[in-house]
Amino acid sequence: MGIVSPGFHGRRRKSAAELPPGQYLTNDFPVLSAGPTPRLREDEWEFTVTAESGREHRWTWREFLDLPAETPKVDIHCVTKWSKLGTEWEGVSLDVLLADVETEADFALVHSYGGYTTNLPLADLLEGQAWIVHRYNGEELAPEHGGPARLLVPHLYFWKSAKWVRGIRLTTENEPGFWESAGYHDYGDPWREQRYQGD
């Protein structure tokens, strides 16, 4: 009897045909930003979740690192049409950060150091779909990629994964963020090619 079962061909690698429409594979990690890269020391970093009631939940860098961490391995897709497969991160699930937050909100407006914002349905941040990450490929997240910490929402176009994240404000009504106000799609599903308003 052979070591490998009949019909077993190993783990199948995704092909370009399995990418979202209009995307191409890259091994690089392109750097695209809407402004200058903020340079934050970890002792300056703070993350805040603000409920629609105004109640705030805050974590310093040390408190954030003390939370249970996960190591998601995910594919990422940029609106500029590149995709990178099997990226490895480390961070804290939004399920953990929002566990004690009392809210009736349906939406979230994410804020970054440097002034960037992006909006998402709150449901897209829960149930293991999103993280605040601080490590990439086993190393501290570089500033040009959003370090010390960024949002990671891999099922949406990468502009939704805000770099240099500093907080999330929960809202009962949807408020467009930076790129959404400039004509980008409000949701940004790469499998439906939701790049711009009207897509």
CA distances from 96 to 49, 74, 150 (A): 12, 19, 16
139 close to 147: Cβ distance less than 8 angstroms? no
| Cβ count near 117 (within 10 Å) | 17
What does the alpha-carbon distance between residue 134 and residue 149 come to, in Å, rounded to a whole number? 4
**What is the reported pLDDT for 198?**
86
For the chain, the domains span 39-192
> Which band of pLDDT confidence, cut at 50, 70 and 90, is reported for residue 75?
very high
pLDDT digits (tens, 9 = 90+) for 135-192: 999 999 999 999 999 999 999 999 999 999 999 999 999 999 999 999 999 999 999 9
- Tell whether the model's pLDDT for residue 5 goes beyond 90: no
Structure tokens at 103: 């809210």
Which of 6-20, 96-110, 126-140, 182-196 shows the lowest mean pLDDT across its residues?
Answer: 6-20
Residues 6+ apart with CB under 8 A from 130: 93, 94, 124, 151, 152, 153
Structure tokens at 53: 């009631």
Q: Which CATH superfamily is domain 39-192 in?
A: Oxidoreductase, molybdopterin-binding domain (3.90.420.10)
pLDDT digits (tens, 9 = 90+) for 29-44: 878 766 677 888 889 9
pTM, two decimals, is 0.89
Amino acid identity of 131? W
Strands (E), the chain: 24-25, 46-50, 56-60, 73-77, 82-93, 107-112, 117-121, 131-136, 139-140, 150-152, 165-171
**What is the reported pLDDT for 28?**
84
